[in-house]
Amino acid sequence: MKKLINDPRAVVDESVEGFGLAHADLVRVHSDPLFVSRAGGAVPGKVGLVSGGGSGHEPLHSGYVGRGMLDAAVPGAVFTSPTPDAIIPATQAADGGAGVVLVVKNYTGDVLNFETAAEMCQAEGLDVRTVLVDDDVAVEDSLYTAGRRGVAGTVLVEKIAGAAAERGDRLDEVEAIGRKVVANVRSMGLALTPCTVPHAGKTSFDLGEDEIEIGIGIHGEPGRRRVGLEPADALTEHLLTPVMEDLGLAEGERVLLFVNGMGGTPLSELYIVYRVAARILADRGALVERSLVGNYTTSLEMQGCSVTVLRLDDELTALWDAPVHTPALRWGA
């Protein structure tokens, strides 16, 4: 195992400490328990937005703390849900007096721990709502979840719900916007190589030199099937076809196309995937009005990508375009 680390047990603490130092103008890092909040604290009268999950998916979630997105994020150990004792103070730190929305990826540990934290915050009088993200069309159940997994579509939920909160929407409205995005976003990914969890010291799964896992999860969970080496165009079609079918995409619909890297794939290759994905959508009669390409929901150093499609309307487009200023996503601010 070759990694730029010191003690495998200290990877998350040291990484988050460095993240806080690098972006001290935007975030504050809190330790014991560990969470990240927006610099300057909660915005009075604004609905708070909080997310979190296992580390190893950077910049998700801490990289999206800032104006127009999250008010706090809770990083757990690598590929491990954070516990309620960290989620509770993060939720409290995000509360500006208008309630808090938790954006939770659909993994069993995340769901249980965020639900527990929400119940405990509610018992103290804080109005907390939960938006569950389950955009992965690859499987209905996996090793980590009952039902579909939450993957790269989480970034779009956080951006759009965050913009709604930033413009002053009420708690019910921010929750509804988050659920609207979830209902209209679908994703599917593939892996060219496995990744290595630092404290494990070995790859998370075995994949032959001539094998590609189609439908992989962001923790290395098995996908739909393994295939031999194929050109990028064919592999992209394997991902995008079930996404379009599950979304029920019709001719003339407007979409956002998001090609996400898993951490180890060059940007040049992601643009090759975007090129064919845009062409496939155009052939179907869909109108690609917005796009995002890059490493936004990763799996450590895994080589691979995912393709996400979000059905757009005027409201979602305006919220996507709204100013955002975070360490990992920034425009219009």
Confidence of residue 63 (pLDDT cuts 50, 70, 90): very high
**Residues of the chain above pLDDT 90, percent:** 87
Is 57 designated active site?
Answer: yes
Q: What is the per-residue DSSP string for 59-117?
A: TTTGGGBSBTSBSEEEEEEETSPPPHHHHHHHHHHH--SS-EEEEEES-HHHHHHHHHH
Mean pLDDT score of the chain, rounded to an integer?
95
Q: Which of 23, 57, 61, 238 is catalytic?
A: 57
Residue 12 has pLDDT above 70, yes or no: yes
Q: What is the pLDDT of residue 142?
A: 54
Q: What is the pLDDT of residue 143?
A: 57
Q: What is the pLDDT of residue 201?
A: 78
Contact 81, 117 (CB under 8 A): no
**Per-residue DSSP letter, 38:** E
Confidence of residue 309 (pLDDT cuts 50, 70, 90): very high
| Tens of pLDDT, residues 15-57 | 999 999 999 999 999 999 999 999 999 999 999 999 999 999 9
Count CB atoms within 10 A of the CB of residue 27.
25
Q: What is the pLDDT of residue 146?
A: 67
Residue 98 has pLDDT above 90, yes or no: yes
Q: What is the pLDDT of residue 30?
A: 98
Q: What is the pLDDT of residue 220?
A: 79
| Tens of pLDDT, residues 143-178 | 555 689 999 999 999 999 999 999 999 999 999 999
Residue 135 has pLDDT above 70, yes or no: yes
pTM, 2 dp: 0.96
Q: What is the pLDDT of residue 52?
A: 98
Confidence of residue 139 (pLDDT cuts 50, 70, 90): confident
Does residue 239 come out as left (phi exceeding 0), alpha (psi in the -120 to 50 range) or beta? alpha
Residue 110 has pLDDT above 70, yes or no: yes
Q: What is the pLDDT of residue 4?
A: 93
Mean pLDDT, residues 47-69: 98
Q: Which of 23, 61, 219, 238 is catalytic?
A: 219
Q: What is the pLDDT of residue 164?
A: 98
Is 238 designated active site?
Answer: no
Contact 310, 157 (CB under 8 A): no
Residue 136 has pLDDT above 90, yes or no: yes
Q: What is the pLDDT of residue 141?
A: 55
